Structure 1
Amino acid sequence: MTGGLLLLAGALLLWPGPAALARQRWRSVVRSADVGLRPALGVPLPAVAATAAGAVAALLSTPLVAALAGGCAALAARAELRRRAGAQEEARLAALVEALTGLGAELRSGRSLDEATRAAVAACADDDSGRALARAVRSPGDGAGEADDGGELGRALGRVAAAARLSARTGCSLAAVVGAVEDDLRARSRHRLELRSATAGSRASAALLAGLPVLGLVMGGGVGADPWRVLTTTGTGQLLLVAGVGLEVAGLVWSARLVRRAVR
């Protein structure tokens, strides 16, 4: 038990901070929740996490604990991949909004569409978003401006392509239409941030409740009851351990789903 706690503490100390994650966010291009966030050998991160956690738990405890640790590690890795993919999509959306700001400014200054598009793409912080914006503006009628995935970025590029088609058909100012799309994207981003702030308390409560069973084990060991031995060496304890871990995972998944539905 003590060895497992020491390994967990070491892993938390080595976990990259927000600054390192932000730098990685701008260096990589995410096309799905799994692509681009895998180890160098192409093995999915959940499989690596499950294998590592299962191996450590097998050395420190029973095979049942190893199986449960592997499953929980895989679920945690999937949740982390989903969180990083969402953060990177938000970063790409922010880069697209800034590129739209530059495109509108260049068009209002009197530059041609090609020159304004090249300047906006050059100023875009994400190369892939810049190229997609150029396709959406220059070829809005053939669907080339839409992103490969169906996420928020793809819908945003679809609105940009629709704005370019509207300008081409009606002759209205492309700068005005692009500005309207930019305002819409900024409003949507502010709305998502407000919803995340409103649900921050719920997420913190769910995390606190999830840690209470671990605190109970530590307190039980502190008073000499040794609940870990009961849970891992007796038949009744093993059944209770499996049921407790299952209920814990179900509660976390349910609370995360409720928060995601509220944020949408």
Structure 2
Amino acid sequence: MRDNFFAKKRMNTLLFCAFLLLVTLVAMIVTDYNVIKGFTSIPKAAEWAADNFYPNEKAMKRLPAIISSLSETILVSIAATAVAAVFAMLFAIAGSHTTGVGGVFSFVSRSIATLFRNIDVAAWSMILLISFGQNVLTGYFALFFGSFGFLTRAFMESIDEVSNSSVEALRSTGAGYFPIIFQSVIPASIPQLLSWVLFMVETNIRQATLIGILTGTGIGFLFSLYYKGLNYSSASLVVIVIILAIFAIESVSTYVRRAIL
């Protein structure tokens, strides 16, 4: 019987791989994608980048403006994440299986979190462009909505995983709802919650660069401006600054995680 189970599992795996290969072939035919041409063009692309995509002396003069735009992008990302974390905490407590009040409130909290989490930040940007136009506020709300949905779900799972036993212990002693929240749930969950917030900050800084292209703000707008203007030297400097900033923020985030976990 065990052999039949593994044989069936292998067969399902082979069928899935065959289906995936079929979908890939159909996609290549529909899009007229040439695999050989795609791979052979990589050396030419690398040669072009080596000849054109590097900062020169003229580009370095734009470094203060680039750093200023990068600072704006980072601050907007942090602000959107911080505010989203506060709202996510409230909805997570209301929707958690451990601390939720149950009934309609838990259902509404989980439904809202699922809705916001399943809409991509880029989609939020396009939706909000209709109402707010191209400005910082559009990028801020796009990051806020995306962060809110993700953090609400992550916070719910963290609360259910970490604080279940302690909540049951306090309930058995007759403790009220709010003492349980503030004396057990939040203190026990803080390390995990902070870890999720740090992860979201990193993610938002990366996404904010792409959102800036849509909203016409921040470091993403500068890259789009330089690239469309064929100013590849300045565009390459923007890319280098973004990469260095991401590495620096990730290093700080990793250090903080190690300190709190």
Same fold, TM-score > 0.5, yes or no: no
**Structure with more relative contact order (C-alpha pairs < 8 Å, separation 6 or more):** 2
Normalized per residue, the structure richer in helix is 2
Give the alignment's TM-score, normalised by structure 2.
0.33
